[in-house]
Amino acid sequence: MAGVVGVHDHDGNSEKELKHTPFSHPLEKISSSSCHVSPASYLPIVTVGIDSLQPHPSSHHPPSTSWVKKARYLKQMQHGVYEEVKDEREAMEIPTKTKYSLLHFFHPDFNRCAILDSHLQTLTPKHYEARIIKINVENAPFLVTKLGVRVLPCLIAFVDGKSVGRIEGFELLGNTDAFRTTTLEQVLVGFGVLVRRKLGEEEEEGRVRREERRKVEEEDEGDDWD
């Protein structure tokens, strides 16, 4: 008999009843262990470059370890593209074939899922090291049960096919709909699924450049009075 799984948004609204028909699959090894991360555990920044990444043993090895060729290889493997996967079996296989991956469980009726979507669309092209995908919960009844997805949006991080952290709702993102993409990036770097901050670095570099321009302008104004 088919089971029924309830999934609701972070505020407890618009609860959905999803029919679940269990099926066996050789890739059920995906870890379902939840990872509770305290704020202190995701603040350190990892400074490892993409050129130091090692391909997952179960994946095809890129033809070269050079940065340019590796980036090209990852692009061919759909890294850098945020896409919706509609086949549940494919959504199960990607984390086991990719060293770093993120899986966003969403529902089109939930506004916060759309908000997280927009941030992931910004983040994905900056982080070729990870495969970032999403799947509608109504297309993934088995995974919803297997991974214990109860609150939407739910973003699960995988390293070598094992769950290393998850974001349920926006609690880790400041509990606000107006969180910054750099905040999401920092949490994911802390999980170890993104190798280093990139948007955060760009933002800091922009701030430094603006500060330098401001100082130059102030010095120029001071010279005008001499």
Residue 128 sits in the same domain as residue 91? yes
Residue 190 sits in the same domain as residue 206? no
Q: Are 187 and 168 in contact (CB under 8 A)?
A: no
Question: What is the average pLDDT across 97-121?
Answer: 97
Residue 207 sits in the same domain as residue 190? no
pLDDT tens-digit series, residues 184-222: 999 999 999 998 887 755 555 555 556 666 666 666 666
Q: What strands, in cross-sheet order, belong to the sheet with 16-20?
A: 16-20, 3-9, 151-152
We report the CATH number of the domain holding residue 146 as 3.40.30.10
Among 15-19, 62-66, 199-203, the minimum mean pLDDT is found in 15-19
- Number of domains comprising the chain: 2
Among 59-63, 97-101, 201-205, the minimum mean pLDDT is found in 59-63
Residue 117 sits in the same domain as residue 223? no
Name every residue whose Cβ is closer than 8 Å to that of residue 114 and which is 6 or more positions away in sequence.
Answer: 108
Q: Are 37 and 165 in contact (CB under 8 A)?
A: yes
Q: Are 148 and 32 in contact (CB under 8 A)?
A: yes
pLDDT value, residue 205: 52
pLDDT tens-digit series, residues 134-189: 999 999 999 999 999 999 999 999 999 999 999 999 999 999 999 999 999 999 99
Residue 183 sits in the same domain as residue 202? no
H-type alpha helices, 64-193: 67-76, 88-97, 111-123, 141-146, 181-191
Q: Is 135 left (phi over 0), alpha (psi -120 to 50) or beta?
A: beta
Residue 207 sits in the same domain as residue 101? no
Residue labelled with tokens 């926006």: 170
Enter the pTM of the model: 0.64
Residue 174 sits in the same domain as residue 201? no
pLDDT tens-digit series, residues 110-120: 999 999 999 99
Residue 26 sits in the same domain as residue 82? yes
Domain span including residue 211: 197-226
Residue 150 sits in the same domain as residue 223? no
Residue 104 sits in the same domain as residue 216? no
Which of residues 31 and 54 earns the better pLDDT score? 31
pLDDT value, residue 9: 72
Residue 145 sits in the same domain as residue 221? no
Q: What angle, 0 to 180 degrees and rounded to 10, lies between the N-to-C axes of helices 181-191 and 199-224?
A: 130
Residue 169 sits in the same domain as residue 202? no
Q: What percent of the chain stands above pLDDT 90?
A: 50
Return the SS3 of 100.
Answer: strand
